[in-house]
Amino acid sequence: MPIYKAPVEDTLFLLDNVVGYEKYGNLPGFGDASRDVVEAILNEAGKLAEEVLQPINLSGDREGCKRTVDNGVETPKGFKEAFRAYTEGGWLGLSFPARYGGQELPHVLSSAVSEYTSAANMAFAMYPGLTAGAVAALLAHASDDIKTAYAPRMIEGRWTGTMNLTEPHCGTDLGLLKTKAVPQADGSYLITGQKIFISAGEHDLAENIVHLVLARIEGAPAGVKGISLFVVPKFEIGADGAPGKRNGVSLGSLEHKMGIHGNATCVLNYDDARGWLVGEANKGLAAMFVMMNEARLGVAIQGLGQSEVAYQNAAAYARDRLQGRALTGAKAPDKPADPIVVHPDIRRMLLEMKAFNEGARALMLWTALEADVLHRSPDEAQRKAADDHLGLMTPVLKAMFTDLGFQNAVKAQQVFGGHGYVGEWGVEQFVRDARIAMIYEGANGIQALDLVGRKLPKDGGRAVMAFFKTAGDLAKQFEADEAMKACAAQQTKSIGNLQQATMWLMQNAMKNPDNAGAASTDYLRLFGLVALGHMWLQIMKAAQDRRGDAGMAEKMDARFATGKFFFERMAPETSLRLQRIVTGADTMMSVPADMF
């Protein structure tokens, strides 16, 4: 059976020593979240993940969601009880405004919590995760009436949320969408069309399901400028605020998919379903983007979570499984064989995972704190800088965390050998579950285009220049530290590679936009490796600083060695990425389409 232990200790180490949680203490809401409160909350969340969610992960995968005779969906055994535990614990409202029933605690806390819940049970965590995303979109764009009618019940977890973008003929290119909305005399709209791949689209966890739906108001302009956002509840809201009449949205089918079997992925048919406009007409995409950006960071966290849980299982197996002898002679001569953790190639895989997990966790926490600054700081300059940071990092985290999260699940599976391919150890489930995160909420290729085409040139490159300066200064500073010299020098080199790639893009993407497309995926990974390096230098410094704490030497040395491994074996990939980028698009564009 798979195991999971929430990495609360590492989260706290990073908050305290790397991302400087205490520096944010003046932000509204942070006063209620003292260091003690943070620790208590993370411990509680860890317990929830370990004791409630993880035990129903494997069974949820085996059992899957089932269509019921009355066209509903039955979630796997235990999901209902777990959802009750989750919502009654107040986890859904952790960072939402108090006036809607939330606890207004820092966003960084809900991000940390969501790592644990996603790691323990990704399919489950999507139900509350999508609900939180939908609430965020409503709070940002809906009328006060809609906010008041929906937000409190969703935060309570009595109702859940979904996002409805994709149609059979369009996913990435929403300009093609056909679902139509016909205005009614009472201000509502009747929505008709078909949406596919709707996560949590139908289930038995809540009294109502609140669909956020992109549709085209009759007569609206073609393309993305004619798309509006609607809130369409499964049951219309009665005068008493409670769910009433069944709305015209119904389950078309349940998708048969590779993983996340515990989450119901639905085809939803809208047939004159009553909906209400959220935000302005024809500005639906902008409104939906609030939910999408939220969701993209959530998906990045899923990648990290799957990588962490896969790593933990692989590490435990490697310490346990006796097979062969160390190349340098028996390490456990009293046993029939040595544990496979003695083998360098097993350690290589474990360290690749560990170096990603700890660096990515730091990067995620830093980014989440910047989201808190953006939403809470009274200082406009601070907010602007935070907005720049988020804009830049959102595609990087989404794509890199999910690519590496998946690859790490595959690596963990490799550590298990044949036992990784069969179901009982649960590790093949991590691979199947993690795979979707590279695809949904904007496939990773789209994230790379977003980074290169939009985020990089925005405001004359202000965001990326600020990041280069921050990262460059830090690397220079640590080059003076004897123990970290070589690592800092590699980081300086990585930053140089990134700057050269950026320069190349500035010079070559203008004259041929295909050069940007051809470079995009390599550029995003190069960027991400620099960002991980930026975190690792700080983690290594913190590990040195805390090495003298009672009983901490071995742990801190392991952190330091993991950082060294990152700079020796992973950061050099930045040179390869640069080399690929500067070859441009010519070769790949020269092949006629029908020669593929």
- Number of other residues whose CB lies within 10 A of the CB of residue 321: 18
User: If binding is defined by CB under 8 A, does position 330 make contact with a second copy?
Assistant: no
Report, in Å, the least distance between residue 2 CB and a second copy: 14
Rule CB under 8 A: choose which of 210, 342, 393, 400 binds a second copy. Answer: 342
- 36 counts as binding a second copy under rule CB under 8 A: no
Count CB atoms within 10 A of the CB of residue 313.
Answer: 24
- Only one residue has tokens 């959102």, namely 394
Question: Which stretch, 104-112, 113-121, 170-178, 465-473, contacts a second copy (CB under 8 A)?
Answer: 170-178
Nearer Cβ to a second copy (94/448): 448
DSSP state of 248: S
Using rule CB under 8 A, residue 256 touches a second copy: yes
Q: Which is nearer to a second copy, 139 or 299 (CB)?
A: 299
CB-nearer residue toward a second copy: 481 or 573: 573
How many CB atoms within 10 Å of residue 185? 5
Three-state SS string over 170-208 comes to: ECCCHHHCCCEEEECCCCCEEEEEEEEEEECCCCCCCCE
322, 503, 506, 510: which one binds a second copy (CB under 8 A): 322
According to CB under 8 A, which residues from 288 to 317 bind a second copy? 315
Strand partners, 235: 246
CB of 521 to a second copy, least distance (A): 6
Cβ–Cβ < 8 Å for 394, 401: no
Q: Rule CB under 8 A: which of 180-199 touch a second copy?
A: 196-197
Task: Decide whether 6 or 436 has the Cβ nearer to a second copy.
Answer: 436
Within 418-457, which residues bind a second copy (CB under 8 A)?
418, 420-424, 428, 431-432, 435-436, 438-440, 443-445, 448-449
Helix/strand/coil for 159: strand
**Nearest to a second copy of 103, 444 (CB atom):** 444
Contact by Cβ (8 Å): 399, 385: no
Torsion angle, alpha carbons of 255, 257, 260, 264, to 10: 10
Q: Looking at 233, 517, 528, 533, which residue binds a second copy (CB under 8 A)? A: 517
Cβ of residue 67: shortest distance to a second copy, in angstroms? Answer: 15
Number of residues that bind a second copy (CB under 8 A): 100
Instruction: Please select the residue that binds a second copy; options are 255, 387, 479, 481, rule is CB under 8 A.
Output: 255
Among residues 9, 167, 441, 573, the one annotated as catalytic is 441
Q: Among residues 275 and 339, whose Cβ is nearest to a second copy?
A: 339
Check residue 91 for interaction with a second copy (CB under 8 A).
Answer: no
Tokens of 451: 């980074």
Look at the chain and count its residues. Answer: 596
* Alpha helices, H only, 437-484: 444-449, 462-479
Tokens 């530290």 correspond to what residue? 481
Site for a second copy in 451-490 (CB under 8 A): none
Taking the CA atoms of 257, 71, 170 and 395 in sequence, report the sign of the dihedral they define. Answer: negative
Site for a second copy in 524-583 (CB under 8 A): 554-555, 557-558, 561-562, 564-565, 568-569, 572-573, 575-576, 579-580, 583
Rounded to 5 degrees, φ, ψ at 65 are -95, 145
220 near a second copy, judged by CB under 8 A: no
Per CB under 8 A, the segment of 139-147, 286-294, 324-332, 534-542 that binds a second copy is 324-332
CA angle centred on 487, ends 485 and 493, rounded to 5°: 105
- Gyration radius from the chain CA atoms: 24
Binding flag, residue 336, a second copy (CB under 8 A): yes
Residue type, 153: R
Q: Is 370 a catalytic residue?
A: no
Place of tokens 């700079």: 567
Any idea which residues carry the catalytic annotation?
Answer: 441
